Amino acid sequence: MDKNCHVEPLQKTYSARQLQDADRAVLSIGGMGCENCARRVRNGLLSLDGVYAANVHLNLALAEVFYDRARLSTHALEEAVRSAGDDGHHEYHARLIAAE
């Protein structure tokens, strides 16, 4: 693994109420090759104001996102995944599978 690929996980706090009331989206993620890629995608999602939690599963190529639909569209979630790879070395893409 290239030492320049290391990614520190972003930490975000949320209340139990926020998570309980959150909308849920499942995204299919393409382009991830390692755990650092999954962290990079997760960080990209968590950096959005209105995302409370995100779980990225490398082995399933999926992301489960808990967010506020009144503040963010699913398109914004897909764009955050794409932008997570805007470093010239990584390219990610997302497609909405389900939204609740």
What's the pTM? Answer: 0.88
27: closest CA among 84, 77, 87, 90? 77
- What average pLDDT does range 13-25 have in this prediction? 92
- Inform me whether the pLDDT recorded for 1 exceeds 50: no
* Cβ-contact 59, 37 below 8 angstroms: no
Q: Is residue 43 part of a domain?
A: yes
- What average pLDDT does range 79-88 have in this prediction? 90
Domain range for 65: 17-99
Q: Is residue 48 part of a domain?
A: yes
Cα(98)–Cα(1) distance, rounded to whole angstroms? 33
Cα(82)–Cα(78) distance, rounded to whole angstroms? 6
Q: Is residue 29 part of a domain?
A: yes
Q: Is residue 88 part of a domain?
A: yes
CATH number at residue 27: 3.30.70.100
Q: What is the pLDDT of residue 73?
A: 96
Q: Is residue 54 part of a domain?
A: yes
Q: What is the pLDDT of residue 57?
A: 98
Q: How many domains does the chain have?
A: 1
- What average pLDDT does range 60-86 have in this prediction? 96
